[in-house]
Amino acid sequence: MYGFLIAVGVLLLLSLIWMVYRIQTLVSVVKGSDKKIASSSNKVNAILFIVFLLGAGILMFWYSIKEFDNYNLPLASEHGAVTDNLFWITMAVTGVVFIITHILLFIFPYKYQYKESRKATFYPDNNKLEVIWTIVPAIVLAILVIGGWKAWSDITAPAPENAHVVEIMGYQFAWEIRYPGVDNVLGDHDYRLINEVNNPSGVDFSDKNSFDDFTSPVMVLPKGEPVLLKIRARDVLHSVFAPHMRLKMDAVPGMPTRFWFTPTKTTAEMRQELGDDEFVYEIACTEICGRGHFSMRREIRVVEPAEYQEWLKEQKPYIVNDPTLVENVSSELKELADITISEYK
């Protein structure tokens, strides 16, 4: 019954529109306005451009200012300050161009709308103008690019020697985090060694560097010290995205990638600054990877360096939690492994 009523309503509405359409067609035939070069609609359209310019302009400024704190993400990394700066400089430059060109684009239609008495100006070219508006954008763009290029070179430069190494591996549909332990060197890995029960990231335990490697459900990082993320993927492409760190890098099966950065604010500091006790830094996936693409969440917890060292000490390596991992290694290594295990007990 409900559906029937809606159908009738829609039908009535459509027939109403139809009648209005027919009537206006007939009226325009009677008035002979369909024979004119530009009908009275010309003026209406010209005015609408101005209305649109004002309406859209006001809406844009109002929303951009009102919502600034919402869409402007808090920032917590050193290089992020540089890229954010570039972003807002670019915003200022393009914003000015955007506004000027749109004012011209919508005012011209109003100002130069058709008049039978007037003739358009025959103005086919002006090489001087063309040169000017080739060179000026070229210079402006060059300045923007050079800023971007410098920032990009710094960001992608090799990580400092003292950077804390953390491995993050994407798989359907989560991240696996591995720390290198005391030696700050990650053990080898091989995808053929992956075992979902006790070795999800395929760590090669015949490499003694892996003895002190450990995993953590949360990525804990020290504030103010460089961190090198070693990024890889197990099955399909993923992409590590830490929005507050202004960090993004694809995780590619078969090709390790990296990204280094320096966190500038602890989670606690950020909570205080935002007045939000629930705030956490997050990692998301930004490369389509299948059904659970939207749910690959990991938390980053940034702490003071001292607290970080404390935390490191509390962590237990893979082989301590599961000594069977080193069951099959050579006897020499087994001895070494046993020493490591006993140290932690």
Partner 1 sequence: MAAANVALHDTHDHDHDHEHHDNFITKYIFSTDHKMIGKQFLVTGIFWALIGGFLSILFRLQLGFPDMELYFLKPLLGGWIDDAGKLDPNFYLALVTMHGTIMVFFVLTAGLSGTFSNYLIPLQIGARDMASGFMNMLSYWFFFVSGVIMFCSLFLENGPAGGGWVVYPPLSALEQAIPGSGMGMTLWLIAMTFFIASSLLGGINYITTVINLRTKGMSFSRLPLTIWAFFLTAVIGLLSFPVLFAAALLLVFDRSFGTSFYLADIYISGEGALPNTGGSPVLYQHLFWFLGHPEVYIVLLPALGITSEVIATNSRKPIFGYKAMIISMLGITILSFVVWAHHMFVSGMNPFLGSIFMFLTLIIAIPSAVKVFNYLTTLWRGNLIFTPGMLFSIGLVSFFISGGLTGIFLGNSAIDIQLHDTYFVVAHFHLVMGSASFFGLMAGVYHWFPKMFGRMMDAKLGYVHFWLTFVGVYLVFFPMHYIGIAGFPRRYYSWTNFEFSNMYTDLNMFVSAAAIITFAAQFIFLFNFFYSMYRGKKASLNPWRSTTLEWTTPLFPGHGNWPGEIPSVYRWPYDYSKPGAKEDFIPQTVPLSATPESNLPHEQELVKLEKEIIAEEEQVLVANGSKEV
State which H helix or E strand residue 301 sits in. strand 298-303
Q: Which amino acid is at 209?
A: N
Q: Which residue's CB is nearer to partner 1, number 58 or number 73?
A: 73
Number of chain positions touching partner 1 (CB under 8 A): 118
Least distance from partner 1 to the Cβ atom of residue 192, Å: 5
Least distance from partner 1 to the Cβ atom of residue 37, Å: 6
Q: x/- contact string, 288-327, with partner 1 (CB under 8 A)?
A: xxxxxxxx-x------------------------------
Q: Which residue's CB is nearer to partner 1, number 2 or number 345?
A: 2
| Contact stretch for partner 1 (CB under 8 A) within 5-13, 278-286, 321-329, 330-338 | 278-286
Least distance from partner 1 to the Cβ atom of residue 198, Å: 14
Are 264 and 216 in contact by the 8 Å Cβ rule? The answer is no
Q: x/- contact string, 207-236, with partner 1 (CB under 8 A)?
A: ------------------------x--xxx
Q: x/- contact string, 73-92, with partner 1 (CB under 8 A)?
A: x------x-xxx-xx--xx-
* 3 state SS for 180-244: CCCCCCCCCECHHHCECCCECCCECCCCHHHCCCEECCEEEEECCCCEEEEEEECCCCEEEEEHH
Q: Which residue's CB is nearer to partner 1, number 70 or number 324?
A: 70
Q: Which residue's CB is nearer to partner 1, number 61 or number 330?
A: 61
Instruction: Tell me how far CA of residue 202 lies from CA of 124, 141, 186, 194, 257, in angstroms.
Output: 68, 46, 12, 4, 17
Residues 168-187 that bind partner 1 (CB under 8 A): 171-172
The whole-angstrom separation of Cα 259 and Cα 322 is 30
Closest CA to 217 of 300, 156, 145, 161: 300
Q: Which residue's CB is nearer to partner 1, number 8 or number 145?
A: 145
Least distance from partner 1 to the Cβ atom of residue 340, Å: 27
Longest dimension (CA), the chain: 103
What 294-300 contacts at long range (C-beta under 8 Å, 24+ apart), as own/partner pairs, is 295/173, 296/170, 296/173, 296/174, 296/175, 296/238, 298/168, 298/174, 298/175, 298/177, 298/217, 298/218, 298/219, 299/218, 299/219, 300/218, 300/219, 300/220, 300/221, 300/242, 300/245, 300/263, 300/267
Tell me: does residue 31 bind partner 1 (CB under 8 A).
no
Least distance from partner 1 to the Cβ atom of residue 262, Å: 15
Q: Which residue's CB is nearer to partner 1, number 101 or number 330?
A: 101
Tell me: does residue 56 bind partner 1 (CB under 8 A).
yes
Least distance from partner 1 to the Cβ atom of residue 87, Å: 5
Q: Which residue's CB is nearer to partner 1, number 38 or number 185?
A: 38
| Contact stretch for partner 1 (CB under 8 A) within 221-229, 282-290, 303-311, 336-344 | 282-290
Burial call 222-252: b when 16+ CB within 10 Å, e when fewer: bbeebbbbbbbbbebebbbbbbbbbbebbbb
Least distance from partner 1 to the Cβ atom of residue 240, Å: 9
Tell me: does residue 269 bind partner 1 (CB under 8 A).
no
Quote the tokens at residue 97: 């161009």
Closest CA to 49 of 100, 98, 104: 104
- Among positions 183, 188, 225, 250, the unique one binding partner 1 when judged by CB under 8 A: 250
**Phi-psi group of 265: left, alpha or beta (phi > 0 → left; psi -120 to 50 → alpha; rest → beta):** beta
Q: Which residue's CB is nearer to partner 1, number 220 or number 320?
A: 220
Residues 101-160 that bind partner 1 (CB under 8 A): 101-102, 104-106, 108-109, 112-115, 118-126, 129-130, 133-134, 137-138, 141-142, 144-145, 147-149, 151-153, 155-156
